[in-house]
Chain A
C-alpha cells in the first residue's frame, strides 16, 4: 500500500535533486529547470498532504503554484533571452559583474 510517507519521500528526493541542481549548475537555463523541479516537489507534497487530511486547500495551493510558476517561467525566459543577446552566454561564471 502506498501511503503518505512514500509520497513525502518522493517529494523530498525530487526537492533534493532540484536543490543540488541549483547549487551545482552553472547554466542559468539549467538553474531555471532546477527551480521548477523544486517547485513541483513541493506540489507533490501539498497534494499528498491535502489528500491525507481530506482538505482541498493544499491542492488549491498546488494549482496556484503551477499557475505562478508558469507565468514566472514566461518572464524568466524573456530575461534570459535578453541576457544571452547581451553577453552571448548564460554561464554564471561569465556573468559575475557585481563583485564586492
Chain B
C-alpha cells in the first residue's frame, strides 16, 4: 500500500511531463496545464500521506522508514546498485515541500504563461524537473541522488533558457546577457561542481565498496580521517555548485532570465536547496569531519552577508529576490555546518514557502508591468495590485524575520545556534545580515508598492493578476505565516530519525534565548524602519534618485557584484576562449585534421599518378609485369644477403 504511494509520488510528475510533451510542438492547450497541475497535486497528496504514515508508524516502531527497491539497476562485478528509494523523515520533508510548491507553481504558470506560444513545452519541462527532484530526494543511494542531481540541472538549463530566442545584450545593459547565456552559465558552473561531487562518490565507493547510504554510514567509524575529510570536501563542492555558494554563485542571479514560475520553483524553493539537502542527508559523514563542517558554516555565513550586501543596491526586482535566496541558503549552510541539521531543514522548508510566494508576487508585478523589473520605474503599485501587495508584504515580513511569521522562527534558531556554538563572529555577522535582509526586502516592497507613483508617467498601466492565480497563491501565504508555529511539532517529527539530526541548545543559551531573539528583532525592525523612511514616504519627503551616490565606490562595487562576474569573464572566460581559438586553429586544424587529410590525399594522388599505367596496351602491361618481377627478385636477393 505505502509502496504504491511511493511510486505514485515519484511517477505522477513523470507522467505529467510525458503527457505535456505529447503536445510540445502544438498550439497552447489549456488542458495540458490542468492535467499537469492535477498530477502534481496527486504527488503532493501522496507525499503528505507518506509523511503522516511515517510519523505515526514511528511512534510505535522507532526507526521505521520505507525502503523500496524498484529493480536491479547497475550490477557489474562487485558493484551492485539497485534502483531503490528510502522514505524517512528527511526525504519526506523534502518531498512534501517540493510537491507542494510545485503544485502551486504549476497552477500559477497556467495564468502566468497564458500568452506564451510554448505553453505546453513549459509544462513538460517543469514536470520533468519535479520528477528529477523527487528522484534526488527519494533515492537511497548516491548514484540515484546523482542522477536526480543531473536531471534537475538539465531541467534548470532548459527552463532558464526557455526564451532562448532573446538576443544577447551587453553586460552593462543586462548583467545576465541573455537567457541562453544564463542557461549555459548555470549549467557549466554546475558541471564544474558536479565533478567534485563525482570524485566524492568515487572516494566513498573506493573505500566502502558500497553506495547505499545505510551501508556507507555504517562504515564511517572504520575510515581514516583523511578519507572522510576528502570525501566531505568533494561532496561539499558539489553542494556549493547546486546551492550557488561562493565562488560558484554567479549563475543564480543570472538564472533570473528564466520565466518567473521557474525562478520560484527551481531557483528559490527546491533545486538550489539540493546542496543543503545533500549535507543533511549525508550528516553522519559531515558530523565526523568537524573542520569541513566549520568551513561550511563559515562559508554559509559569509555568503549570507555577501549576497545581502549586493541586494542593498540592486534595482532589478527579481535579482533582489535571487540575492535573498543566496543569502538564505547561506543561513541554511551555517546551520548545517554547525551541526543543527534539523534547523537547516526547517529553514529550508519555511524559506521554500515564503520565497516561492515572494517570487510569484514578483511575477505578478512583472506580468502587470510588461516585463519591466526596474524598481525605479514602479512606485505606488499597491492601489492597483492589492492582492499582490498583501502577498509580497507577508512574504517580506517572513523573510525579514519578524515574529510570528515563518522566517523568524527558523532564522532565529539558526542565529541562536551560532551563539550556542560559541562562534560569535558568525553570530554577529548573521545578526547584521538579518538587519540587512529586512532592509533590502522592504526597500523592494516600498519602492514597488509605496511612495510616489513613477510608472504612470512612463506609460505603464498595471493591472492585477487573474483571480485564480491569486487564490492559488493563498496556501503559500498561509504557510509563510504559520509554518513557524509548528517548529515544535516538526522537531518531534524529525527527532524520530535518531541522534544524527538532533540538536539542542545549551542551558546557558536557553536562558538568553529571549534576549537573542530581541536583538534579531531589533535589527530587523530597524532595517524596515530605515527602508520606510528612505523609500516609502510621499510628497516632499519622497525618495529621489541620488545620482551622486550611485557614482560612489561602494555603490558601484555592490552594483557590479564586487566585479566578480567581470573577473570571471576577464580571467577565465576570455583566456579560455583564446586558448580554445589557438587549439582550434593551431592544433586541431594544423595537426589533427591535417594528418587525417594527408593520409587520404596520399592515396588520391598515388591513384591519380599511377592511372597512366593503364594504357590498354598489353605490351605495356607485360613490361610493367617484368619490372615487378625484377623488383621482387631484387628484394629476394637483398633479403637473402641480409638474412
Q: A residues bordering B, Cβ < 8 Å?
A: 19, 22-23, 25-26, 28, 31, 92-93, 95-100
Tell me how far the C-beta of B375 lies from the nearest C-beta in chain A, rounded to whole angstroms.
81
Residues of B603-635 whose CB lies within 8 A of A = 611, 613-619, 622-623, 626
Residues of B586-615 whose CB lies within 8 A of A = 611, 613-615
Evaluate contact between B615 and A99: CB separation under 8 angstroms: yes
Residues of B292-324 whose CB lies within 8 A of A = none
Tell me how far the C-beta of A83 lies from the nearest C-beta in chain B, rounded to whole angstroms.
11
Q: Which residues of A contact B611 (CB under 8 A)?
A: 100
Q: Which residues of A contact B623 (CB under 8 A)?
A: 23
Tell me how far the C-beta of B329 lies from the nearest C-beta in chain A, rounded to whole angstroms.
75
Q: B residues bordering A, Cβ < 8 Å?
A: 611, 613-619, 622-623, 626
Cα–Cα, bound, A23→B622 (Å): 6
Evaluate contact between B617 and A22: CB separation under 8 angstroms: no
Of the residues A26, A31, A100, contact of B616 by C-beta under 8 Å: A100
Evaluate contact between B618 and A95: CB separation under 8 angstroms: yes
Of the residues A23, A26, A28, A96, contact of B615 by C-beta under 8 Å: A96
Q: Which residues of B contact A23 (CB under 8 A)?
A: 619, 622-623, 626
Q: Which residues of B contact A97 (CB under 8 A)?
A: 616
Evaluate contact between A96 and B616: CB separation under 8 angstroms: yes
Chain B residue with the shortest CB-CB distance to A20: B626
CB<8 Å pairs between A and B, sample of 24: A19-B626, A22-B622, A22-B626, A23-B619, A23-B623, A25-B619, A26-B619, A31-B622, A92-B617, A92-B619, A93-B617, A96-B615, A96-B616, A96-B618, A97-B616, A98-B614, A98-B616, A99-B614, A99-B615, A99-B616, A100-B611, A100-B613, A100-B614, A100-B615
Chain A residue with the shortest CB-CB distance to B612: A100
Cα–Cα, bound, A92→B621 (Å): 11
Evaluate contact between B617 and A96: CB separation under 8 angstroms: yes
Cα–Cα, bound, A92→B618 (Å): 6
Chain B residue with the shortest CB-CB distance to A25: B619
Cα–Cα, bound, A43→B611 (Å): 37
Tell me how far the C-beta of A45 lies from the nearest C-beta in chain B, rounded to whole angstroms.
15
Q: Which residues of B contact A100 (CB under 8 A)?
A: 611, 613-616
Chain A residue with the shortest CB-CB distance to B610: A100
Q: Which residues of B contact A96 (CB under 8 A)?
A: 615-618
Tell me how far the C-beta of B343 lies from the nearest C-beta in chain A, rounded to whole angstroms.
86
Tell me how far the C-beta of A63 lies from the nearest C-beta in chain B, rounded to whole angstroms.
25
Q: Which residues of A contact B626 (CB under 8 A)?
A: 19, 22-23
Tell me how far the C-beta of A73 lies from the nearest C-beta in chain B, rounded to whole angstroms.
18
Tell me how far the C-beta of A38 lies from the nearest C-beta in chain B, rounded to whole angstroms.
11
Chain A residue with the shortest CB-CB distance to B622: A22
Q: Which residues of A contact B618 (CB under 8 A)?
A: 28, 92, 95-96
Tell me how far the C-beta of A18 lies from the nearest C-beta in chain B, rounded to whole angstroms.
11
Cα–Cα, bound, A32→B611 (Å): 28
Q: Which residues of B contact A22 (CB under 8 A)?
A: 622, 626
Tell me how far the C-beta of B611 lies from the nearest C-beta in chain A, rounded to whole angstroms.
6
Chain B residue with the shortest CB-CB distance to A98: B616
Tell me how far the C-beta of B277 lies from the nearest C-beta in chain A, rounded to whole angstroms.
73
Q: Which residues of B contact A93 (CB under 8 A)?
A: 617, 619
Tell me how far the C-beta of A59 lies from the nearest C-beta in chain B, rounded to whole angstroms.
26
Give 5 closest A-B pairs by Cβ, nearest first: A100-B614, A99-B616, A96-B616, A98-B616, A96-B617
Knowing that A26-B619, A100-B615 touch, tell me 5 more A-B residue pairs with CB under 8 angstroms: A22-B622, A23-B619, A92-B617, A98-B614, A100-B611
Tell me how far the C-beta of B285 lies from the nearest C-beta in chain A, rounded to whole angstroms.
74
Cα–Cα, bound, A99→B613 (Å): 9
Q: Which residues of B contact A28 (CB under 8 A)?
A: 618
Tell me how far the C-beta of A89 lies from the nearest C-beta in chain B, rounded to whole angstroms.
13
Tell me how far the C-beta of B25 lies from the nearest C-beta in chain A, rounded to whole angstroms.
54
Cα–Cα, bound, A95→B623 (Å): 16
Tell me how far the C-beta of B291 lies from the nearest C-beta in chain A, rounded to whole angstroms.
79
Tell me how far the C-beta of A15 lies from the nearest C-beta in chain B, rounded to whole angstroms.
11
Tell me how far the C-beta of B627 lies from the nearest C-beta in chain A, rounded to whole angstroms.
10
Tell me how far the C-beta of A12 lies from the nearest C-beta in chain B, rounded to whole angstroms.
12
Q: Which residues of A contact B614 (CB under 8 A)?
A: 98-100
Q: Which residues of A contact B615 (CB under 8 A)?
A: 96, 99-100
Tell me how far the C-beta of B629 lies from the nearest C-beta in chain A, rounded to whole angstroms.
9
Chain B residue with the shortest CB-CB distance to A34: B622
Cα–Cα, bound, A25→B618 (Å): 11
Chain B residue with the shortest CB-CB distance to A95: B618
Tell me how far the C-beta of A23 lies from the nearest C-beta in chain B, rounded to whole angstroms.
5
Q: Which residues of B contact A98 (CB under 8 A)?
A: 614, 616
Tell me how far the C-beta of B608 lies from the nearest C-beta in chain A, rounded to whole angstroms.
12
Tell me how far the C-beta of A25 lies from the nearest C-beta in chain B, rounded to whole angstroms.
8
Q: Which residues of B contact A99 (CB under 8 A)?
A: 614-616
Cα–Cα, bound, A26→B622 (Å): 11
Q: Which residues of B contact A31 (CB under 8 A)?
A: 622
Cα–Cα, bound, A96→B618 (Å): 7
Cα–Cα, bound, A26→B613 (Å): 18
